[in-house]
Amino acid sequence: MSILSTVRQELLTEARNSPQLLSDMAGLERYVAESYSTRAFIEILQNSDDAGADRVAFARGDDWVICANSGRPFNLNDFRSLCRSASSSKSRGQGIGYRGIGFKSVVGIADRVHLISNQLQATFSRDLTQNLIGEPAPVPLIRIPHPLTIDANSAQLTAANRMIEKGFPTVFIMEGLNQDQVAEEFARFDSDYLLFLNHVASVELQDSSEVRFQCHRQLLTAESAILNIFAPTRSEKWKVERRRDIAIAFSMDGERVVPLRADESIAHAYLPTLEQSGFGIRVNGDFSTDPSRTRITLDDHTAIQIDSIAAVISERILSTMESPDDASSEMLACLSPNVDDVALKFQKRSFRSELLNNVSERLRPLQSRLHLAPIWLNDNDAAAVSIAPEGRRMIAQSAADVSAAVKIAKFAGVKTASTQELLASAACGSMTSTGCAELISHVIKSLVPIGVSVEELISSNVWFADDGPHELIEIVASGSTISAHFLESLKSCGTDVISIQRRVGRYMEKEGLAKALGTSIAADNFVTSGNPEYATPNVMASDPLGDSLQHFRNVSIARGSRIATTRNASAWRSAELCVLGLLTDLGYEAEDHSRQNLGYDLLATYDSKQYFVEVKSINYAGQPFSLTPNEDSFARDSPDRYILALVLRATDTTFVQFLRNPRTQLEFTKQCRQWSWECSQYEFEADYELTEP
C-alpha cells in the first residue's frame, strides 16, 4: 500500500468513528492560522531545514504559491506527522520543530494545498474532505489527504515541474490565496531566519522580482563557525558558537565582534522570537514557546535551556576577564548587559530577566578576584595596583565613559576598592606619584568620612619628596620639603597647599608643615567634625542627601539674579557630570543613568542607602524647570530617596543645590505642552560652590 493510501485510510477511519474530531481539528486550525499569522514561510523554512535541505524556493503566480526544498523526500512517518496535529515524529532536540502543528500555518494563506514529493502526490482540500465524509460540519484543511487533484495543464503544475527539474524533490503548491497575507509573507522574509538553521544555505523568492538570501558557513571548530549571510540590501557576518542544543551569535564587523543594540539582541527558538536576550548577542535554544512561536514560555524545559546559555556566556566572561588581551574589550562589550540593573528590578519576569539573573549568579566569583577602581584614580595605577590580602586586580573606571569591563563587574556585584585599601597598597610602594597625589587629594577634599583618618594619611608613605615617597610626618620632622612636581600633581587634582594645611594642620607643627609645603603661610582656619579622626573645612561630616541639607547651605543667590554663565565649563562637560563628580567627592558611589530614561539621572549610594538624583540645569536662580511624567512618577514613588539637584553654572563657578522629596517640598503646576510638571516658585540657595581649578 502506498504512503498516501496508508495514511488516508487511517485518518478516514478515525474521522468516521469520531465525527466530532474533525470539527475540533478545524477549530485548532483556525487558532493556529491566527497565532502563526505571517509566519507560514518561516514554518516551511523550518521544516525544510529539518529535512536537510540546503536550498529553498518560493514562487508566486496569479493565485498560487509554490514552496520547494532540496531536502529528504517525505517518508511514511513524515507524511503521517504532516497530516496529524501535534504529532510530530521528532522529539525535542531532533530538529527545530517538535509540535507538528507549524505547517498548519499555511491555512492562513491558502484554502487548497498540493504536495509532490517523489512518488508521493496528494491534495488537501476542505471540499474534497466534506464530500468524502458526507457531513456538513466544519473540517480541517490539513488532515485527510486525497489523490493529487490539479489541472495537468495549469501554470502552477508547470512551475512545480520546473522546480523538480532544478533539483527540488519536494514541492508544495498552494491555491486559493489570501493575497494580502501572501504579499506580507514575501515582504517580511528576513535574513535573520537563516542564522541558527543547520542546513539551508540559499532561499529564493520569486514574486514581481526575484531575490535571493544566502548563508555561507565556515566551520572553525566542531563548536564554532563563521556565517556570512547575504540579503538583497545588506550583508551580515556572524560568529556562532554552539554547545549541544544551544548557541550564541556575535555580530561581526570585519574580523571584530561588535555588540548589538538591545532591540537587535533577540532570542531565537531556532527562528527569531520577540524576546530580548539582555546582552549584546543573539542566543538560540530549544525553548518552549507560545503557539505563535514569537514568545518564549518560562517552563521547566526553558529553564534548562536558559541555564545552558548562561553557562556559556559566564564562561566566556570569566575567561576573558581573567586573561585579557587585545580583543577582550570587544568581546566584553558584546557580553555586557544592555539593560540597567535597577530598571530590571522593576520589570516583570521574562526570558531576559531570567537569563540576566542566571548569568549574574554565575559571575559571583569575580567578587573575590576583582575590585573596581574609584573614578578619581588614573588608569595606569588602577591597572598596576592589587588589593591585599587576596591580591585582587582592579578595573579602571571613568566618569565620562563606562567600559564594558566595568559594566560586567558591577553586574557581578564587584565592589569599588575602599580608600583604606588603596592607602595600604600605596604605602607599600605599589602606586605612582600621580596615583598618590590623587589619593591624597581625594582624602583632603572628601566631605564625609571615607574610612581613612588624617593621622593615617600623614603617617603613610604616599608623600613624595625629591628622593621618593615618605610619611608627611617624617618630611616635616626632618625639615625636608615635598617635591615641586608632587605639589603640582596635587594642584592638578584640585588640592593646593592651603587645603592641605587646613586639613592636616591640627596634627602637625604649623611652621614645619608650611616649610614642607614650600610656603611661608601657616593656615589655621580649619574646624573639626566632632570625630577626632576626621577634620573637614567648613562642613559637617554626614550623609548630605540623607540629612536636612540645611547644614550645607553656604551660598545664597537672589531669586531672578542673572550672572555670567557658560555652557561649556572645562571642568564639567554637563550638569550631570558636574553632580556626578561632586557626589563622588562627597564619598558616594555614584553611577550615571541619565541616558536610560528611568526617571532619574544618577544613582548615589552611601552606607547602603540609595538615592535617585535628578539633575536640572538652570541659567538663573528661580528659572522654572520641569519634571517629565516619568520623573514625576518616580519622585512620588520614592519621596525620601528622590533628590533634585539644581545646577547653576557661572563662568568660573558652578553652584549646586540639593532638594530632597521635591514633590512635597516644592509647588508644581501641570503643563500640557508635553504633560510635564513645572516648578517656578522656589528659592535657590546653593549647597555647594564648585570653583574650577
Last residue of a domain, one of 192, 208, 224: 208
Give the three cell numbers for residue 324: 585579557
- pLDDT of the residue at 669: 81
At 669-684, the pLDDT tens digits run 877 655 666 776 777 7
Euclidean distance between CA atoms 440 and 446, whole angstroms = 10
Task: Give a yes or no: residue 360 inside a domain.
Answer: no
Verify that 8 and 147 share a domain, yes or no: yes
Q: How confident is the model at residue 537 (pLDDT cuts 50, 70, 90)?
A: very low
**528: pLDDT strictly greater than 60:** no
Last residue of a domain, one of 287, 320, 348: 348
Verify that 314 and 189 share a domain, yes or no: no
Average pLDDT over residues 283-288: 94
Q: How confident is the model at residue 555 (pLDDT cuts 50, 70, 90)?
A: very low
> Taking the chain, what is the end-to-end CA distance rounded to the nearest angstrom?
94
Task: Give a yes or no: residue 544 inside a domain.
Answer: no
Verify that 56 and 178 share a domain, yes or no: yes
Task: Give a yes or no: residue 554 inside a domain.
Answer: yes
521-544 burial, b if ≥16 CB within 10 A, otherwise e? eebeebeebeeeebbbeebebbbb
Task: Report CA-CA distances (Å) from 321 to 324, 333, 384, 413, 511.
Answer: 6, 12, 15, 14, 50
**86: pLDDT strictly greater than 60:** no
**532: pLDDT strictly greater than 90:** no
Helix axis angle for 126-133 and 19-35, nearest 10°, is 170
Task: Give a yes or no: residue 385 inside a domain.
Answer: no
Q: How confident is the model at residue 571 (pLDDT cuts 50, 70, 90)?
A: very low
Average pLDDT over residues 189-194: 92
Average pLDDT over residues 85-94: 46
At 605-632, the pLDDT tens digits run 887 789 999 999 988 888 888 898 889 9
- One-letter amino acid at 203 equals V
Q: What is the extent of the structural domain holding 572? A: 550-691
At 353-382, the pLDDT tens digits run 999 999 999 999 999 899 999 999 999 999
Task: Give a yes or no: residue 219 inside a domain.
Answer: no
Verify that 300 and 336 share a domain, yes or no: yes
**471: pLDDT strictly greater than 60:** yes
Share of the chain above pLDDT 90, in %: 53
Average pLDDT over residues 56-72: 96
Verify that 307 and 342 share a domain, yes or no: yes
Euclidean distance between CA atoms 440 and 398, whole angstroms = 19
Q: How many domains does the chain have?
A: 4
Task: Report CA-CA distances (Å) from 473 to 431, 455, 459, 463, 465.
Answer: 19, 9, 6, 10, 12
Region of 118 on the Ramachandran plot (φ > 0 left; ψ -120 to 50 alpha; else beta)? left
Query: Which residues lie below 8 Å from residue 598, measured CB to CB, with a gap of 6+?
Result: 340, 342, 343, 630, 634
Q: How confident is the model at residue 643 (pLDDT cuts 50, 70, 90)?
A: very high
Task: Give a yes or no: residue 31 inside a domain.
Answer: yes
At 314-356, the pLDDT tens digits run 999 998 887 766 678 899 999 999 987 776 777 789 999 999 9
Burial class of residue 320 in the structure, from the number of CB atoms within 10 Å of its CB (0-12 exposed, 13-18 middle, 19+ buried): buried
Task: Report CA-CA distances (Å) from 657 to 87, 554, 633, 685.
Answer: 68, 10, 22, 6
**230: pLDDT strictly greater than 90:** yes
Q: What is the largest CA-CA distance in the chain?
A: 114
Task: Give a yes or no: residue 404 inside a domain.
Answer: no
- pLDDT of the residue at 358: 96
**125: pLDDT strictly greater than 70:** yes
Greatest mean pLDDT among 131-145, 263-277, 540-554 = 263-277
- pLDDT of the residue at 521: 59
Return the H-helix or E-strand segment holding 161. Answer: helix 155-165
Q: Residues 482, 443, 374, CA angle at the centre, nearest 5°? A: 115
- pLDDT of the residue at 688: 64
Q: How confident is the model at residue 558 (pLDDT cuts 50, 70, 90)?
A: very low
Higher pLDDT, 89 or 507: 507
**402: pLDDT strictly greater than 70:** yes
Euclidean distance between CA atoms 235 and 434, whole angstroms = 48
CATH number at residue 28: 3.30.565
CATH number at residue 581: 3.40.1350.10
Verify that 310 and 428 share a domain, yes or no: no
β-partners of residue 649 are: 654
Average pLDDT over residues 187-200: 92
Share of the chain above pLDDT 70, in %: 85
Last residue of a domain, one of 538, 566, 592: 538
Task: Tally the C-alpha atoms within 13 A of residue 541's C-alpha that lie toward its C-beta.
Answer: 20
**To the nearest 5 percent, what fractions of the chain are helix, strand and coil?**
35, 25, 40
Query: Which residues lie below 8 Å from residue 346, measured CB to CB, with a gap of 6+?
Result: none
Average pLDDT over residues 563-586: 63
Average pLDDT over residues 467-474: 94
Burial class of residue 148 in the structure, from the number of CB atoms within 10 Å of its CB (0-12 exposed, 13-18 middle, 19+ buried): middle
Task: Report CA-CA distances (Å) from 54 to 162, 168, 176, 221.
Answer: 18, 10, 28, 21
Verify that 63 and 138 share a domain, yes or no: yes
- pLDDT of the residue at 569: 38
**476: pLDDT strictly greater than 90:** yes
Q: How confident is the model at residue 448 (pLDDT cuts 50, 70, 90)?
A: low
Query: Hunting for cell 620639603 — which residue is that?
Result: 481
Higher pLDDT, 249 or 447: 249
Average pLDDT over residues 489-501: 90
Query: Which residues lie below 8 Å from residue 690, measured CB to CB, with a gap of 6+?
Result: 571, 572, 578, 582, 653, 654, 655, 656
Average pLDDT, whole number, for the chain? 84
Verify that 12 and 153 share a domain, yes or no: yes
CB atoms within 10 A of CB 185: 25
- pLDDT of the residue at 674: 55
Average pLDDT over residues 626-652: 87
CB atoms within 10 A of CB 290: 11
**94: pLDDT strictly greater than 90:** no
Query: Which residues lie below 8 Å from residue 692, measured CB to CB, with a gap of 6+?
Result: 569, 570, 571, 652, 653, 654
Verify that 253 and 170 share a domain, yes or no: no
What φ, ψ does residue 18 adopt, rounded to 5°? -140, 80
- pLDDT of the residue at 326: 64
Task: Report CA-CA distances (Å) from 482 to 301, 459, 506, 524, 657.
Answer: 67, 15, 19, 20, 37
Euclidean distance between CA atoms 477 and 654, whole angstroms = 39
Please spell the DSSP secondary structure of 353-385, one letter per residue: HHHHHHHHHHTGGGGGTEEEPPTTS-HHHHHH-
- pLDDT of the residue at 98: 38
Return the H-helix or E-strand segment holding 604. Answer: strand 602-606
Euclidean distance between CA atoms 334 and 405, whole angstroms = 11
Verify that 120 and 140 share a domain, yes or no: yes
**465: pLDDT strictly greater than 70:** yes
Q: How confident is the model at residue 37 (pLDDT cuts 50, 70, 90)?
A: low
Verify that 642 and 571 share a domain, yes or no: yes
- pLDDT of the residue at 553: 41
Task: Give a yes or no: residue 84 inside a domain.
Answer: yes
What is the SS3 assignment for 352?
helix
Verify that 149 and 177 share a domain, yes or no: yes
Q: How confident is the model at residue 531 (pLDDT cuts 50, 70, 90)?
A: very low
What φ, ψ does residue 295 adopt, rounded to 5°? -125, 135
- pLDDT of the residue at 547: 56
Task: Report CA-CA distances (Å) from 537 to 440, 448, 501, 520, 544.
Answer: 15, 11, 11, 21, 15
- pLDDT of the residue at 568: 39
